[in-house]
Each structure stands twice: as structure tokens, then as C-alpha cells.
Amino acid sequence: MAARRADAGELTAVAFAAKAHWGYPRHWLARWSSVLTITDRFLGRNPSYAAIADGRIIGFYSMRLGRRSVWLEQFWVLPRFIGKGVGRLLFAHFERRARQAGAVRVIVESDPHAEGFYRAMGAKTYSRRPAPMDGHVRFLPLLAKALA
């Protein structure tokens, strides 16, 4: 379903829970709060869609539309639903929406832990962006997928 502005708080909770799943320190999560916090303004600018189970949001994505490309801005699944097909369904929905918008490719800047998922969805890693945290060497994978 299309996410509504009123869903911003629930979407934010999903994003924080999903990011925390990878074992990041709390102070890193706090530093990423501006990226993980979904606002009604963000939802007004970025088409967003949620997966629902038992009346609750269990995952969602947001996209930023370009002329020929679509960027995956947010993509989160509650930890207890990871590995159960929710992400695969959401990504398939994202691809359909991207095609409907006229995109010929999708672009993803991924958390390192999610790179394998996006590669399984057919995306290819084309670069890595340095993203050091507190002296730890980190890189964010940059992936793209051509849409047929």
C-alpha cells in the first residue's frame, strides 16, 4: 500500500529496528537518525510503499524519481521478517513502480550488510563510497540494475 504521511512514525520505527539488527553501536544509530527518521515532508516528496501484516507496517521503501533513473532512498524490513520474502516482494513492487515512472535503471546506495540482498535481486555493484565511522574503515556499496 502507499505509505501515508501519518505513517511517518511507524516507518521510522521500522527503519531504526532494521538498522539496529546489524549490531551497530547505539551512538552510530543516533548519528544516523536524520537519515533513519522518516518525516511527513519526506513522504510528500518521495513515493513510498509499505508491506502490511496484521494491520502493522513490516517493511517499506521510498524512491526518488529522476528522468531515466530511480533511486532507492529507503528500504527496510523488520528483523523478524528478514529472510521470509518480504524484501523480495517489496523490491519487485519497487521495480514495477520504477518502470511505470519511465525509469530504465534503478540505483541503490546500500548498507554493507544488505549488498547481498540487492545482488540477489539482480543489481550489480559498480562502486563503493567511503563511509568511515569512529576510525572504522567502512564503504557503502553503490549498485545499479537495468530495467527491461
CATH number at residue 95: 3.40.630.30
pTM of the model: 0.95
- What pLDDT band is residue 28 in, cutting at 50, 70 and 90? very high
Which pLDDT does position 24 carry in this prediction? 96
**How many domains does the chain fold into?**
1
Which structural domain, as residue segments, surrounds residue 71?
5-146
Q: What is the pLDDT of residues 48-79, one digit of tens each?
A: 999 999 999 999 999 999 989 999 999 999 99
Q: What is the pLDDT of residues 85-132, one digit of tens each?
A: 999 999 999 999 999 999 999 999 999 999 999 999 999 999 999 999
pLDDT above 90 (res 139): yes
- What pLDDT band is residue 148 in, cutting at 50, 70 and 90? confident
Residues 6+ apart with CB under 8 A from 75: 60, 61, 62, 87, 90, 91, 94, 108, 114
Exposure pattern of 90-117 as b/e (b: 16+ CB <10 Å)?
bbeebbebbeeeebeebbbebbeebbeb
